[in-house]
Amino acid sequence: MKKTLALLTLAATATLLTAPAQAQFAKPDDAIKYRKAAFTVMGAHFGRIGAMVNGKAPFDAKAAAENADLVATMSHLPWSAFGPDTDLGDTKAKPEIWKEQAKFKQGAEKLQAEAAKLAAAAKTGNLDNLKAAFGPTAETCKACHDAFRAK
Amino acid sequence: MKKTLALLTLAATATLLTAPAQAQFAKPDDAIKYRKAAFTVMGAHFGRIGAMVNGKAPFDAKAAAENADLVATMSHLPWSAFGPDTDLGDTKAKPEIWKEQAKFKQGAEKLQAEAAKLAAAAKTGNLDNLKAAFGPTAETCKACHDAFRAK
């Protein structure tokens, strides 16, 4: 029973991760280019918050809120682009993404949850709140990169 | 007087276009990578609306609204990444961007205005409204690509 449930979950997850990609990208390379672009935009705006959190840039509450909203928006985008046949090509994606789809999906959802908290924290206009939410969000990036992205 | 005003406008525009880039990107190549990524994400979501508008994909009102919101969001991002020293490198950006900054900025603002209308049209849930707003938005893409992007 447990095994059946696990298999059903895996199948459902696989469908979630693959169905939109097939519909949305003409070629696997288009999907790879898209997901890398989404990560690049997300990383740039997350980095701007990081600079404020780490004292490398002055705290600007409005900019922090805008950047955090963008991170939260972008956190939803890359995942549908890890569909079939997108494991090869110009990508650092590790085979584990397709072997451990439930774990991969969990990682994506964790990022989305933390990014939403980051955006809420940024909206308070308080640097301490921003700092408190930044670390857990950064950890979700690192956890997935360690598990699923080649160096 | 007219000339002075024109020069002042040019100076203000140049400041708008260059100041954030200097603050936000460690290296010119980072800015180039970022702006290309923002265009890639924008283009992908605009293309999904295009597929619906052109009958190549079934009309999905919810997806259209989400895609149009993303296009509108992304329409604000690339411009600060056309700062000093970002004319060289892995880019199709033409020198005209820096020679005709007022025209370039107008093009960006026109896209932002049309993308906002597209997002509003998509929210009506009516395919005809979406079609009516799609063309003018696409024209703003083409106008800037013709003027400012190398083939």
| Chain B residues lying within 8 Å of A40, measured CB to CB | 33-34, 37
In the structure, what pLDDT confidence band is assigned to residue A28 with cuts at 50, 70 and 90? very high
| Chain A residues lying within 8 Å of B34, measured CB to CB | 40-41, 44
| Chain A residues lying within 8 Å of B33, measured CB to CB | 40
SS (H, E, C) A102-137: HHHHHHHHHHHHHHHHHHHHHHCCCHHHHHHHHHHH
User: pLDDT above 90 covers what percent of chain A?
Assistant: 83
Q: Domains in chain A, ordered, with CATH? A: 30-148 (1.20.120.10)
For the complex shown, is ipTM > 0.95?
Answer: no
Between chains, do A73 and B77 touch, taking CB under 8 Å as contact? Answer: no
- The residues on B that touch A, with CB distances below 8 Å, are 23-25, 30, 33-34, 36-38, 40-41, 44, 48, 57, 70, 73-74, 77
Q: Is the pLDDT confidence value at A144 over 50?
A: yes
B85 in a known ligand binding site: no
CB B21 within 8 A of CB B31: yes
pLDDT (0 to 100) of residue A63: 97
Q: Is the pLDDT confidence value at B56 over 80?
A: yes
Q: Is the pLDDT confidence value at A14 over 50?
A: no
In the structure, what pLDDT confidence band is assigned to residue A24 with cuts at 50, 70 and 90? confident
- CA–CA separation, B36 vs B91, rounded Å? 8
Nearest CB among B33, B34, B73 relative to A73 is that of: B73
Q: Is the pLDDT confidence value at B49 over 50?
A: yes
pLDDT (0 to 100) of residue B102: 97
Contacts of B127 (CB under 8 A, 6+ apart): B52, B53, B59, B61
Between chains, do A44 and B36 touch, taking CB under 8 Å as contact? Answer: no
pLDDT (0 to 100) of residue B71: 98
Q: Is the pLDDT confidence value at B37 over 90?
A: yes
- Mean pLDDT (chain B, rounded): 90
The annotated binding site of A for heme c is made up of 141, 144-145
B141 in a known ligand binding site: yes
Q: Is the pLDDT confidence value at A22 over 50?
A: no
